Every structure is written in C-alpha cells, then in structure tokens.
Structure 1
C-alpha cells in the first residue's frame, strides 16, 4: 500500500482522470490537494479531507502558491479540443488558442516543473497519451490539425525527463469510466502500443502506485486494460518496463559523483 507523510497535489483535479486520482489517494489515506483553474471547477472534488487551491498551469506565480508544502504532484492537465472545448472561438476549437496544446500541455508542464523546484516538491507523475511518437497512426493523423497536441505532449515529456526531478510518465490508451481494479493492466515501454483502452480509475491507480514504488521512477509507461487478473505486485509491474535512457544516465552520473 502506498504511504506518504506529505501532501500530494492533483493538477486538473476536476477532470475525469483527476477526480479519480483524488479518490484513489483518499482511498489510501494520503493527504490530497486538489488544484483546478477556478473555485467552480473545484466544487466537483471538494470534500472532507481534500484541500483545494486555485491555479492555472499558464500562471507560474499562481502555481507556486498552490504547490507550497507539496511533496509530489500528479499532473492530469490536458488540452481539450474540438467540441470538447467550447472556448473562445475557432483557435480554441482547433487547439491553437490561449487554451491550446502549446500553452497548456507544453509550456504549462514546464511551468509546473519550475514551480515544483521552487517549492521543493520531489516527484511528478504526469498523464500524457499513447501514440505520441507514431505519426502515421490514423488517430495521430486525425489529431495533427488540433493543436498538434501529441507533439506538444512529447515536448512536455522531454521537459519532465530532463527536469532533474523524480518522475514517472503514464501514457494511457483510450479512456473509459469503469470502476478501478476490475481487470488487469497491460504495461509496455514508450511507443510499443497502438490500440486499447483503460478506465480512468485504473490510470489513477497506476499514478498513485507510481509515487511510492521505486521501480516506477524514471520510466515512461504505456497502459491499456487486458483480461489478466488485477495487478497485485506493483514493483514487478513497473519493473517490467526498462527505465528511460536519460534516467539511467542520471543514475550513473550520480553514482560517479
């Protein structure tokens, strides 16, 4: 069972995966700070045992205030495009506006990393997406006009890997709304999977377990549901994926110094 004496912040706590992350952290008795862009959005997750804070990943100063005292961050923030983003017009519809993929997924992630360093937070788990480096996949081609969103998520991942922070990158397949831990989870290295779906609650469970399982550190994981039993050995689950090359290089450099 994961344990933590500090606070875990969930960014994008009002979204589908963010709400599940808050719920899974509460399930394990971990202190949670739910963060969203407005008080109205936080009403969806506010409740006993949940701290709340208002912050926007596009606002570095606001992020720093919201993350003070936090030990770890689960970042579930992601751009909404198409009919999922009513926004301010055509630019937001296509993901190129002030609420678009570059501003939120890419530069917003950089802002999160810098704010974490300023407040002394130790570990980030970030939810991105499968297909980031599969440009010829039909879904990737379909999403290209919408803010080049997978490219922006790729840039965000690269910023995370080179941040110097402890990290885990979680790339889920298509997201569904089933309860957690009903099926098994297939885990694979980056760019190994091209199809599949997974409940948001299981994505949240992987994120929570990654915070406190050392074999999750420095890894990029792709996850979808399968028909095996639910995961019972999380150390083995994460260890089945090799660490990112940059994480290996960092570990070697630390041991030499």
Structure 2
C-alpha cells in the first residue's frame, strides 16, 4: 500500500469519476477533501474521515478556501451539455452559458491553477478527454456545436502545462461504470488514440497512482481499457509515455 503525505482535494467529487476518485483515495488511506458546488451534491458521498467543502471553479475565493492546506488537487470537473444539462436554458444545453465549457473547463481550470499557487498546492491531476486534437474525428465534429468542449479542454491543458506546477493530465476514452481491475489499461501519449472506453473506477485509480509515482509527472496520458491483465507495475505503466514537450515561450494568461 503506497503512503502519501498530505491532503488531496478532489474537485467535482459528486460526479461519476469524482466519486470513484474519492473511493480510491480512501482505499489507499489518503487524506481527502471532497469538493462540490453545494452541500446537497456532497450529501450522499460523505464517508467517515473524508472532509468536504463547497466551491465553484468559477469563483476563485471559494476555490482558495476549499484548497487551503492541500498538497495536491485532482480535478474531475467537466461541462455537461445536451440532455445532461436540462433545465438551465438553451445556452447551457449547447454548452455556451454560465455553465458552459469556456466558463468551466477553460477559465475554471485557470482559476484552479491560480488558487493552487496562492495556497501552496504543488500537484494537479486533471481529467480531460481523448480526441482533443482530432478535429475530423466524428465524435469531435459532433461535439463542436456543444460549447466547443474539446477546444476548451485543449486550452485548459495548455494552461496546466504552462503553469509551472507539477501536473499529470489524464485523457480517458468513453467512460463506463464497470468495476475496477476487470481489464488492463492501454496507455499512450497525447493524440495517439482515437477510440475505446474505460471504467471510471480505473480512471480514478490512474489519477490516484499519479500522485505518488514520479514517472507520471509532467505527462499527458490517453487511456482506454484493453484485454491484457490489470496493471501491476504503475511505474512502468507511466514510464511508457514520454514527458510533454513544453515550448520555452509557453505562457498561460492569468496563471
């Protein structure tokens, strides 16, 4: 069982992937603070020993309060569009409203980075998406009218890489609700995969292992399930992907 010294804040802890991350961190005995936008969203995920906080990535002050004392942050927040975001008007249905991809995925990530620096958090693990730089992929084309989500996630990733913080970017394929460790995990560098799915529980385990495995630092990982055995050597798993090449002139506005 790995040991991890310090508090980990999970943003979007009420979502499907966020819940799994909280569960995997608890399994590993990691001190965790689960964060969502309301107490109601946290009510059914609170477990003994898990701290909670209310914050919104669009509100830097609330983020700073929620992140205070954290060593690391796992950001599982992502925009919901279409029928997953019903009842909030046409703009949010199409991902261009106040809950849209630019506000949440893009500018929200910049807010997270700024808040982390102000409170002294040192490592961000962020869950984004496969297909970010594959504009001709049918799924990418389908999502373009919905807040241009993949472009906004690309902007968020660039801000993370330019932030100067330790980071790991995790890009899963299509997400399922299968139990963890039923299959192996295929891992590849950014923009190498174009299809596949993976369980949220396995994504959560990748995020957790990235906290204490140095071979995961400074990398963008694309992951999907495959028919190999479940991962047993996480160091080798992360080491199979090269570090990101970050241009010397890279900058992130507001970071």
**Alignment match, 1:165:** 165
Deviations 1:162-219 (A, max 9, x none): 0000000000000000111111000000000000000000000000000100000000
CA contact (8 A) 1:72 1:124 kept: yes
Query: C-alpha distance in 1, partners of 2:224/2:3?
Result: 25
**Alignment match, 2:78:** 78
Deviation for aligned residue 1:60: 0.2
Deviations 1:108-165 (A, max 9, x none): 0000000000000010000000000000000000000000000000000000000000
Aligned residues: 249
CA contact (8 A) 1:2 1:208 kept: no
Task: State whether structure 2 residue 174 is matched by structure 1 residue 174.
Answer: yes
**Alignment match, 2:52:** 52
Deviations 1:30-74 (A, max 9, x none): 001000000000012112011000000000000000000000000
CA contact (8 A) 1:6 1:71 kept: yes
**Alignment match, 1:143:** 143
Task: State whether structure 2 residue 41 is matched by structure 1 residue 41.
Answer: yes
Query: C-alpha distance in 2, partners of 1:3/1:208?
Result: 11
Deviation for aligned residue 1:87: 4.3
TM norm structure 2: 0.96
Moved >2 Å (runs of 4+): none
Instruction: List alignment gaps of at least 5 residues for structure 1.
Output: 251-257
Q: Secondary structure at the match of 2:203?
A: helix
Query: C-alpha distance in 2, partners of 1:117/1:9?
Result: 14
Instruction: List alignment gaps of at least 5 residues for structure 2.
Output: 250-255
**Alignment match, 1:12:** 12
Q: Secondary structure at the match of 2:209?
A: helix
CA-atom RMSD in angstroms: 1.1
TM norm structure 1: 0.95
Q: How does 1:215-234 map to 2 (within 5 A)?
A: 215-234=215-234
